[in-house]
Amino acid sequence: GPVKGGSTVIAFVKDPDGYMIELINKKDAGKGLGEG
């Protein structure tokens, strides 16, 4: 899930293959999540 870190939101998503994908969004957190 999304982790609050100051003004930067870091979200860790579990890839179907088992890899960890680190999504870093500044201010636009929630808008770009899931659209990769």
**Cβ-based neighbour number of residue 8 at 10 Å:** 12
Q: Convert the pLDDT of each residue in 8-32 to its tens digit.
A: 666 666 777 766 666 665 555 556 5
The torsion angles phi and psi of 34, rounded to 5 degrees, stand at: 90, -5
Residue 35 falls inside a structural domain: no
Residue 32 lies in a domain: no
Residue 4 CA from chain centroid, whole number: 10
Tell me if the pTM is above 0.85: no
Q: Which carries the bigger pLDDT value, residue 36 or residue 14?
A: 14
Catalytic residue from among 15, 17, 22, 35 = 22
Q: Are 24 and 8 in contact (CB under 8 A)?
A: yes
Contact 35, 15 (CB under 8 A): no
Q: What is the number of structural domains in the chain?
A: 1
Q: Does 34 reside within a domain?
A: no
Structural domain including 6 reads: 1-27
* CA dist., res. 11 & res. 36, Å (int): 13
Confirm whether 22 is a catalytic residue.
Answer: yes
